[in-house]
Structure 1
Amino acid sequence: MRLNAWLIGGLLAVAQTANAHEDFTNLCHASSSYDLTVAPSSLQFDRASPSPRNVTMQAGRVSVDGIPLRLNTEDGDRIALFEDEVRALVPKAKAIADQGVDRVVKAIRTTLAAEFDDEETRAQFDRVLARRSAELKRRIADSTSTHDWQGDAFDRYTDAITADLAPLLTSAYAERAAAAAREGDLGAVLAGAHPGGLLTGVIAGDLGQRLAATLAPLRPQVKALCPSLQRLSELQRAVRGADGKPLDLIDIDLPRH
């Protein structure tokens, strides 16, 4: 479900890898075709298609595509409880994302430290990583919508991180190649001759494996959120829209044994 997009987006924005996304998304077997915006007094679910495209919850009331539902007292209570569950779940997901950022940055630093032994180069990387991780934590803390981690907004942010790191990698490898050329090491010169894919190479190589290991300890915390998602699924099924069908904001696809 996209409720944990703060978690997934936070990790992916630093790591730029889909490995964590696959792992964390599948833990609770939960999904949703809606994005979620947590407003001060309401929850807003929206999607491009199909209908219903917009569902708004506010203090036990529901409107679907702008039309208020007529709810009995029990259904109103279920909606109010649904709202409370969502508002309690979001900060928990954000807290895990915050830990994930620290773990991912540490993994990147370890990988780069093994790759470059020049103190000034490592100091430059540290400054960029410190700035970007602090910024990312602020984005996670301030985010009120999963739209912040989808589509163009997400692409622009990951592109900005790449724009910060890629020149440093290019410069570091260029200096290494120049030193190798002075020493007559042709192999080392050729290894640094194609800087365009350097960042991708570092991310996809040793770091990719290191990320899987460094994020693994967060799995139990994510798994602990699954009962909340299950309760949300049960609450929504008890409330029916104007068409007589249950609300379908979250899908739980439990594996068959």
Structure 2
Amino acid sequence: MRSTRLLAAWMLAFACGSLHAQDLSQVCHATSSYDLTVQPGRLVFDRTEPAPTRVVIESGTLQTDGQTVSLNAEDQDRLALFQREAVALVPRVKRVIHHGVDVAVQAVQDESSGLNLDADTRAELQRRLQTHAADLHQRVAASQSTHDWHGDAADQYANQIISDIGPLLASAMGQQAISAAMNGDLQQAATLREQAANLTTGFQPRLQQRLQVLRPEIQALCPDIQRLAELQQGIRASNGRPLNLVQIGQ
């Protein structure tokens, strides 16, 4: 059933977003066209276009597209502070993501509880969910780059969970439907179809509603993100363009 695939996929909807870009945009009005990689002693921002496509901040120094940018003492101090505060923000962002993983897993567990699964299937689902949750927590803890959480990487994580959990739920629900049909219980068969349709159309908004519990945690990050945007103001890349590593809208 398609709904079983969606259960697993939506579990990843928040967890694999590093911190969901839409939430940062909506709550903090913060956006960035760059990916960020935190390396020992420096920050690396990169994007495909426009130039500069690679920005390196290291102990008050700045390189853009391989060119060292001449900075006055004030700008050096501001970039050093930018680097320190950005690094300090990383574990706080990760705490929100860890909480998001737990909320998503609990949502899947609660949704599956209404499927009348047999005891063995429920126990196996619980085991697999906890295994995947532990793996996600480990990946988040080890990650130092937003590249880990979008595109092919995120799809790969989602597909791993879908291929593990999807068949388990599909098999259990399929067996229930077959049994109901063989026993002439058309009402039960119709109920199973309704449950599948409800999962397909209703789970995502219910998950998004649950994730609203994270909103105060995201809001608590906004002043620090605003601070980063302020620290970069007036500093330009080697091509004369403003850095705009972090942009704050209205």
**What's the TM-score once normalised by structure 1's chain length?**
0.84
Show CA shifts across 1:117-143 (max 9, x none). Answer: 421111111011000000000000000
Write the mapping of 1:137-152 to structure 2, written as runs, cut at 5 A: 137-152=137-152
Q: Which residue of 1 aligns with 2:244?
A: 248
Q: Provide the rounded CA distance (Å) in 2 between the counterparts of 1:21 and 1:199.
A: 31
- Does the 8 Å contact 2:28/2:222 carry over to 1? yes
Write the mapping of 1:225-240 to structure 2, written as runs, cut at 5 A: 225-240=221-236
1:131 and 2:127 matched:
no
Q: Provide the rounded CA distance (Å) in 1 between the counterparts of 2:132 and 2:229.
A: 36
Q: Provide the rounded CA distance (Å) in 1 between the counterparts of 2:155 and 2:232.
A: 32
Q: Provide the rounded CA distance (Å) in 1 between the counterparts of 2:231 and 2:211.
A: 31
When residues 86 and 49 of structure 1 are mapped into structure 2, their CA distance, relative to the original with a 3 A threshold, is: same
| Contiguous gaps of at least 5 residues in structure 2 | 1-9
Show CA shifts across 1:44-68 (max 9, x none). Answer: 0000111110000111111000111
- Does the 8 Å contact 1:111/1:206 carry over to 2? no
| Contiguous gaps of at least 5 residues in structure 1 | 1-9
SS at match of 1:141: helix
Show CA shifts across 1:223-246 (max 9, x none). Answer: 111111111111111312233332
Q: Provide the rounded CA distance (Å) in 2 between the counterparts of 1:81 and 1:205.
A: 46
Q: Which residue of 2 aligns with 1:6?
A: none
When residues 109 and 202 of structure 1 are mapped into structure 2, their CA distance, relative to the original with a 3 A threshold, is: farther
- Does the 8 Å contact 1:36/1:146 carry over to 2? yes
CA deviation after TM superposition for structure 1 residue 213, in Å: 2.9
Farther-moved stretch of structure 1 (206-215 vs 244-253):
206-215
Farther-moved stretch of structure 1 (212-221 vs 39-48):
212-221
CA deviation after TM superposition for structure 1 residue 248, in Å: 1.3
Q: Which residue of 2 aligns with 1:55?
A: 55
- Runs of 4+ aligned structure 1 residues displaced above 6 Å come to 14-17, 190-193
Q: Which residue of 1 aligns with 2:122?
A: 122
Q: Which residue of 1 aligns with 2:204?
A: 208
Write the mapping of 1:1-257 to structure 2, written as runs, cut at 5 A: 12-13=12-13, 22-186=22-186, 188-189=188-189, 204-254=200-250
Identity %: 42
**What's the TM-score once normalised by structure 2's chain length?**
0.87
Q: Provide the rounded CA distance (Å) in 1 between the counterparts of 2:119 and 2:234.
A: 61
Q: Provide the rounded CA distance (Å) in 2 between the counterparts of 1:16 and 1:177.
A: 33
SS at match of 1:56: strand
Q: Provide the rounded CA distance (Å) in 1 between the counterparts of 2:29 and 2:230.
A: 14
Structure with the bigger RCO (C-alpha within 8 Å, sep 6+) is 2
- Does the 8 Å contact 1:174/1:192 carry over to 2? no
- Does the 8 Å contact 2:32/2:245 carry over to 1? yes
- Does the 8 Å contact 1:101/1:133 carry over to 2? yes
Farther-moved stretch of structure 1 (238-247 vs 81-90):
238-247
- Does the 8 Å contact 2:52/2:237 carry over to 1? no
CA deviation after TM superposition for structure 1 residue 11, in Å: 6.7
Q: Provide the rounded CA distance (Å) in 1 between the counterparts of 2:150 and 2:140.
A: 13
How many pairs were matched up? 239
Amino acid at match of 1:153: A
Q: CA RMSD in A?
A: 2.6
Amino acid at match of 2:245: L
Q: Provide the rounded CA distance (Å) in 1 between the counterparts of 2:102 and 2:119.
A: 22
